[in-house]
Amino acid sequence: MHHENINKFLGLCVSEKLCTIITSYCSKGSLRDIIFNDNIKLEWMTMFSMISDLVNGMNYIHKSDLAVHGNLKSSNCLIDNRWVLKIADFGIPSIRQKRDKGELSMEKILEDQFWTAPEHLREIIPGSSQKGDMYSFGIILYEIITRSDPYECDTLETANGKQGAIQRSNFLFLPVKKLNMVDSLIGKLERYANNLEEVVEQRTKELREEKKKTDDLLYQMLPRQVAEQLKKGQVVNAELFNDVTIYFSDIVGFTALSALSTPIQIVNLLNELYTNFDNIIAKHDVYKVSVVGTAMPRYCLFGDTVNMASRMESTGEPLRIQLSQTSCDCLRTATGYIISLRGETDIKGKGCQKTYWLKGKLGYNKPLPEFWEKTERERFQF
C-alpha cells in the first residue's frame, strides 16, 4: 500500500521467540504523544491538517482490498518530521492478535477498548468494520480537539453523534481539502513575510519622521553646519568670522508684565513670541544663539562684537532697533534700508559713539510699530 498518509510496511522479521514488524520511522512519535505534550502548541490549522491526513489515509484503506483498519487509535497515528500524519498498525490480523494476547497487560487491553465501537464490544457485529473505524475516528477527533483522554468528559458525544453503526457516515462522505502541515507553515510564512514588509515600511516611515523632528530640533539649537558635524561624530572646531551681524532683543517691562498676568497668560505670550521668531528665522540664513535664562546646548559666541550688540540693546528704546556704525555702513551698502541718525550715545566701555535707528525697508508693506522721533522708556512701564 502506497499513500502519503499510510505508514509504509517494509517487512517482517520472524524468529523463534520474536516477531518484529518493520515500518518507516516517524521522528515525531504518535499523535497521542503530540496531544499530551504540553510543550507543543496545537493551533487550529495544525489540528485541521492532522485530521485531513487521517481522513485521507482512512479513505485510502477503505477503498483498498484491505477495506478496514480494525485497530484505529491515536497511538497508531504517527507523525513524521514534516508533520504529516501517517496511519500505522493495520493489516496482518493474525500476527497482531497473537501479539496482543501475549504482550499486552489486561490494563492495556481494557484501555484499547476506548476506541472500539459498541457493536464490536458487545460482539453484535464480530470482528471489525468500516463503521467501527468511523467510531474510532470520532474518538480521535475528540482527543485532538480537547487534548484529553477518551470519555474524560462526562457529557462526551462521538463526532458522528450516534452509537448505532447504521447511522454513522463513512470516510467517503467526508469532504476534506488537501492540506498538510508544511503547506500551512509555508502559507503562514508567506503571509508573515507580506505583513512584515508592510510593518517594516511603516516603521521606516515613522523613523524618518522622527529623525526629521530630531534634526529640526537640533538645527534650532545649533547652526546647521555644526549640527551636521556632530551627527557625523566629528570634532567641532572654533571658527573665526571677519564679519557678522548680531542682534539682541528684549521684552521691555517683562518683570512688571509678569506680575500683572496669570501663569498661563505668560506661557501663551512667550510661546507665540518664540514661535514667530522661529518661523522668521527658518526663512533666512540666520541662527538664534540662545534665550537668556534657558539651559540647553548652544553655540557660544565670543568677541567684542557680542559686547557691542548687547550695548545696542541696553541703550536702545522700546519698539526700535539700534545700529552701531559698522552695522549701519553694511546696511547702506546693501541699499533699500531706511536708517536715521540717533546721535551720540554713551556706550559702556566704548565711550560716546554715533548710533542709528533702523526704521524699515523699502518695499516692506507689513504693518510696523509707530516710530516716535523721541521715545521714553516710561511709556512702557507698568
- 3-class state of residue 11 by DSSP: strand
Q: Which residues contact 236 (CB under 8 A, 6 or more apart)?
A: 226, 229, 230
Cα separations in angstroms, 109 against 34, 104, 150, 156, 369? 22, 6, 15, 22, 105
Write down the residue that cell numbers 523613523 correspond to: 207
Give the C-alpha separation, 185 to 180, whole Å: 9
Entry field: residues in the chain? 382
Cell of residue 269, nine digits: 505670550
Query: What predicted TM-score, i.e. pTM, was given to this entire model?
Result: 0.46
pLDDT tens readout for residues 249-300: 888 888 888 899 999 999 999 899 888 888 888 888 887 777 766 655 666 7
Give the number of C-alpha atoms closer than 13 A to the C-alpha of residue 167, restricted to the C-beta side: 8
Q: How confident is the model at residue 159 (pLDDT cuts 50, 70, 90)?
A: very low
pLDDT tens readout for residues 34-82: 999 988 888 888 888 888 889 999 999 988 888 888 889 999 999 998 8
What is the per-residue pLDDT for 91?
A: 77
- 3-class state of residue 345 by DSSP: strand
What is the per-residue pLDDT for 158?
A: 46
Question: What are residue 323's DSSP bridge partners?
Answer: 356
Beta strands in 70-154 (DSSP E): 77-79, 85-87
Worst-scoring range by mean pLDDT, 8-22, 129-143, 174-188?
A: 174-188
Cell of residue 350, nine digits: 566704548
Give the C-alpha separation, 187 to 182, whole Å: 8
Query: At the fourth CATH level, which superfamily is domain 9-152+172-179?
Result: Transferase(Phosphotransferase) domain 1 (1.10.510.10)
What is the per-residue pLDDT for 167?
A: 60
Cell of residue 233, nine digits: 561624530
Q: How confident is the model at residue 87 (pLDDT cuts 50, 70, 90)?
A: very high
Cα separations in angstroms, 150 against 91, 144, 170, 287? 24, 10, 21, 80
Which sequence spans correspond to the domains of the chain? 9-152+172-179, 180-236, 246-298, 304-361
**Which amino acid does the sequence have at 344?**
E
Range of 92-96, 98-102, 190-194, 291-295 with top mean pLDDT: 190-194
